Structure 1
Amino acid sequence: MNALHVTTTRIFYAILLLLAVLVLNFTMMHLAPGDVADTIAQSMGGADEETMAQIRADYGLDKSFLVQLGSYLGRVLRFDLGYSFYYNQPVTSLILQRLPATLLLVFTAQIFAMFIGVVLGVISARRPNGILSHFVTFIALFGYSAPVFWTGILLLIGFSLKIQWFPVAGMRDVTLEGGFAVRALDIMRHMVLPTITLSSIFLALYSRLSRASMMETLGSDYVRTAKAKGLTEREVVYKHALKNALSPVITLAGLQFSAVISGAVLVETVFAWPGLGTLAFQSILARDTPTILGILFFSSSLL
C-alpha cells in the first residue's frame, strides 16, 4: 500500500507539473510580440485591418486570454496538439515524422560519449600524472566549455568545406541510389559530425567522472587484494575495478539524457538535421505557435 501511495503521489505531481508547463508555455507565447495573423499577412505581402481581423477570428485569437487558454488545455487533454498553418498538417503528425531522426542522433551521441569518455577516463586514471592524463583533462575542459554550435561550425568548416570528408547538411543524399546497406552507410556519413558535436560536452563529463571514479576504485581494499594475489594490471582494471567505476557514469548518463535532447536543438539547426530541433527552429521563424507549443509539450512529457 505504501508503494502504491508513493507511485500515485508521483503521478499526481507529474500531471500537475505538466499542466504548469502547458500554462507557462502558452502564456509566454501569448505575451510574445506578433501572432499567426502577422505571419500570414507577411506571407501575403500585407493585409488590411478587416483581413487581419478575419484571420484572428479564424484562429480564435480574437477571444480573451483565458478562453484561449481553456480551449488549448481542453484540446491537449484530448491529445490534440493543434494544426500547423505553416506545414499544413496536424502537429502530432509533424512530431512523429521528425522524432525518429532526433532519437537516432541523441542515442548515437549518448552511446559515443559514454564509450569514449569511459575509455579516456580509464586511461588517464591508470597514469594520473602522465602526459596522456593531462591531455585528456585538456580535451575535457575544451569540450565542456565550447558551445555546441561553435564546435559544429568548426567541424563543418574543417571536414565538410575544406577537406570534404563528410556531407555539409541533411540526413541522407536524396540522389543516391542503392539498397539498404548503401543508404545506411550514407546516413552514417551524415551522422558523423552531428554526433561528435552533440557528444563533445557530455564526453567531457563522462571522462572526468570515470577518471575520478576509477581512481577511487583503484585505491580500494579489494583491488589491493587482487593485486596481492598476482593478477595483472589489465585484469585488475578491466575485470574488477571497471565494473564498480561504471556505476556513477551510468547514473549520470540517465540524468543527462534530457540535456542531450536540449542540445540537439542547436546541433540539428547547424547541420540541418531533419529532427525536432530543426522543426522547432523553423516554427519559431514562421511564428507557427501550435507547432512550437506542441514540441514544448512533447519535450516536457519526455523529460
Structure 2
Amino acid sequence: MSEISLPTEERSERGLGLRWLSLPRIPYWVQRVLQAVPVVLLIVTMNFFLMRLAPGDMADVMAGESGVVSMDYVEHLRHSFGADQSVFAQYISYLGNILHFDLGWSFRNGQPVATLILERLASTGFLMVTALAISILCGCTLGMIAGLTRRRSVDLFISVASTIGFAAPLFWLGLMLIVLFSVTLAWLPAGGMSTLGAPATGIAGVLDIARHMVLPTLCLAIYYMAIYTRLMRASVLDICGQDFVRTARAKGASRLRTAWHHILPNSLLSMVTLTGLQLGALFSGSITIETVFAWPGLGQLALSAVASRDLNLLLGILLVSSIFILLVNLLTDLSYALLDPRVEASA
C-alpha cells in the first residue's frame, strides 16, 4: 500500500505535538516541592490575618501592666511596635521580613523571635521524636500481634487497652502519672527538664534529662500508640484476606515468613501516611504535655506569647511549626512513593 502523504503544515503540527509529548517528565519530588511553595504563602497569609482578628494588642497589655491609662502612652507604644500602620502595610512588611529570614523582635522578651524559637525547638523536637518513635514501634508491633491473633484473648486484651489509651485525655493521663510515679512512688520527677543544681554535661546530665523525659514521653506516646495499634490491626486484617497472602500460604510459606515478607510491608504503607497526618496533632498534644509537666518547649512559649499578646513571637511559632509539619508531610509523600512505586508512576 502506498503511504498517504500529509500536507506540510499538518506534518509540522503533528511533529510539534510529538515533540511536546516527548518532553522530559517532571520528577515526582520536584512536583511535590513546587506544590509546597503556594501552601507556605497561604500559611503565612492566614496566620497573619487570623492574628489580627483578636481584639486588643500588646500595647494595651503593656499599658495595663504599667498602670498607665494615658492614650498618648498607648499610641506611643503602638507606634514603636508598628501597630499604627494599616493592616496591608504591616502584611507587606511582614512578608519582606520573612523573605529575609527575619521573624521579627519579641518586645516582651527583648530578644529576636528566631533566637527564642531555636532555644525551645530542640526540647519540643526531642520530646516529639522520642514519643513518635515509641508509639510507632510499639503500636505497629501490638497491632501486628492483634491482627495475626484475631478473636483470641491476646487480641481482645490489646484492643481493650488501645481503646482505653485512645479515650483517656492527655492532661488527665499526665496528672495520673505524676500522682503515681512522682507523688506516691517518688520514682521520677514531676516536671521540668533538669534538676536545679545538677550537672548539665556528661553522663550525669544526660541521665538527669532522661529521668525528666520519662513521664512526658510516656504520656504522649500512650495516646498515639493506641491510634497506631488500632490502625495497624485493621490494616493487617485487610491484608490477610488478600489473594497474594493465600497464594504464599498455598506455596508452603510458613506463617512467620508470610507475616514478615508479605503482610508487614504492605501494612506499613498506611502507617507512613498516618505518621505525616498525625504530626500536627502530635505537636498540639505536646503543648498540653509541656504545660502539665512544665517542659520548656515551644508549647509553653506559645502560651506565654498568647497571654502577653506578643504577636511577633506567636506568628514566628506558628510559621515554624507549620513549615515543619509541611516538610514532614513532604517527606512522607516521598517515602510513600519509595515504598509503593505506583504512586510516582501515577503522578
Same-fold call, TM > 0.5? yes
Shift of 1:16: 2.3
Please name the residue that 1:68 is paired with.
90
Where does structure 2 lack aligned partners over 5 or more consecutive residues? 1-22, 326-347
1:99 correspondence with 2:124: no
Structure 1 pair 111–62 and aligned structure 2 pair: CA distance change class (3 A): same
**AA partner of residue 116 (structure 2):** L
Which moved further from structure 2: 33-42 or 121-130? Answer: 121-130
1:86 correspondence with 2:111: no
CA RMSD of aligned residues (A): 2.3
Shift of 1:223: 4.3
Structure 1 pair 32–179 and aligned structure 2 pair: CA distance change class (3 A): closer
Please name the residue that 1:25 is paired with.
47
1:4 match: secondary structure:
coil
Greater RCO structure (CA 8 Å; 6+ sep): 1
Deviations 1:258-292 (A, max 9, x none): 33223212221221111111111111111111000
Please name the residue that 1:176 is paired with.
198
Larger Rg: 2
Which moved further from structure 2: 60-69 or 108-117? Answer: 60-69
**AA partner of residue 277 (structure 2):** L
* Residue number among 180, 195, 215 corresponding to 2:237 in the alignment: 215
**AA partner of residue 250 (structure 1):** V
In 1, the alpha carbon distance for the partners of 2:65 and 2:136 equals 46
In 1, the alpha carbon distance for the partners of 2:148 and 2:275 equals 23
Structure 1 pair 187–65 and aligned structure 2 pair: CA distance change class (3 A): same
Number of aligned positions between the proteins: 300
Deviations 1:62-107 (A, max 9, x none): 1222222221122112111100112110001111111111111111
Contact preservation (8 Å) 1:268, 1:278? yes
Shift of 1:59: 0.7
* Residue number among 136, 142, 152 corresponding to 1:120 in the alignment: 142
* Residue number among 16, 19, 26 corresponding to 1:4 in the alignment: 26
Identity of aligned residues (%): 38
Contact preservation (8 Å) 1:217, 1:223? no
2:296 match: secondary structure:
coil
**AA partner of residue 46 (structure 1):** V
In 2, the alpha carbon distance for the partners of 1:178 and 1:292 equals 29
1:154 correspondence with 2:176: yes
In 2, the alpha carbon distance for the partners of 1:11 and 1:241 equals 32
Please name the residue that 1:224 is paired with.
249
Give the TM-score, by structure 2 length.
Answer: 0.79
Deviations 1:144-199 (A, max 9, x none): 23332222222222222222222111111132137522211111111111112222
1:31 match: secondary structure:
coil
